[in-house]
Structure 1
């Protein structure tokens, strides 16, 4: 199960990085540049507003996770106050408050984790293809 959880999280995080490509860091507004390896996210992290440790049930929630620079996410533990300010701008106060009040425990079984991996791998590919088509049409 741990392996499926790891693979599902990697697929989900990769989707988040691709989705947020071109957007600034959610916590400090710095441009997210550098060689981003979509598997490890070396320059860019998929930062959880409510951490996986504190709210593991939200780890696959697309409103809870946004791209951040590694400094904010790792060294400043998410830079939470600034993250919240920009998160409200990005998804609205109502959604942020819903995330903050969501404490319903969830268990992710292996079939669910397999589905998460499949869905977000497909979504990431579709986004990449759409971007490539847009770039081809612009050229």
Structure 2
């Protein structure tokens, strides 16, 4: 019989990435709760499942920035999925939220990062805890 500990040992790196990403995205949604969409500036429906944690530089083109808090903000599903991230609006929103210097640094960042399974476990645990603390403070 497979125990929880044995199942955890059998997880692939891809599964750990998915779990760490889910924890990170949950934190982004909690951090930005109630804010306007980063790319359109419109109010979002926070009651349902209509808010994504949208990445400015996509996880596909810049996987090294998948866990960068400056690179990810609450975004309407419409803008993120159907307007390909609405990059022009996103850049304007980022300029307002993080400033020109941080935006330039984000756009210039090409530093490769290879996340080990241990790194991913730490990221998942850290963002799960950060989300829990943030939601407790918001309550």
Counterpart mapping for 1:21-40 below 5 A = 21-36=33-48
Instruction: Give aligned pairs, total.
Output: 127
Question: 1:54-80, CA deviations, whole angstroms, 9 ceiling, x for partnerless residues?
Answer: 000000000000000001000011100
Find out whether 1:94 has 2:106 as its counterpart: no
Question: Which residue of structure 1 lines up, in the alignment, with residue 115 of structure 2?
Answer: 108
Q: SS of 1:67's equivalent?
A: strand
| Aligned residue in 1 for 2:89 | 82
Of residues 105, 109, 127, the one that matches 1:120 is: 127
TM-score (norm 2): 0.89
Q: 4+ residue runs of structure 1 moved beyond 3 angstroms?
A: none
Shift of residue 104, structure 1, vs aligned partner:
1.0
For structure 1, the residue ranges without an aligned partner over 5 or more in a row are 37-41, 133-139
Q: Give the match's secondary structure for 1:77.
A: coil
Distance 2:132 2:107 in 1: 30
| Equivalent position SS for 1:15 | helix
**Do 2:34 and 2:46's aligned partners in 1 also have CA atoms closer than 8 Å?**
no
The reply on whether 1:10 has 2:22 as its aligned counterpart is yes
Distance 1:24 1:72, change over 3 A: same
TM-score by length of 1: 0.89
Q: Distance in 2 between matches of 1:120 and 1:89?
A: 25
Deviations 1:5-56 (A, max 9, x none): 00000000000000000100000011111434xxxxx210000000000000
Which whole-Å CA distance do the structure 2 matches of 1:12 and 1:53 have between them? 16
Partner Cα distance (1:130, 1:89) in 2:
25
Rg larger in structure? 2
CA RMSD, 1 decimal: 0.8
**1:136 corresponds to:** none
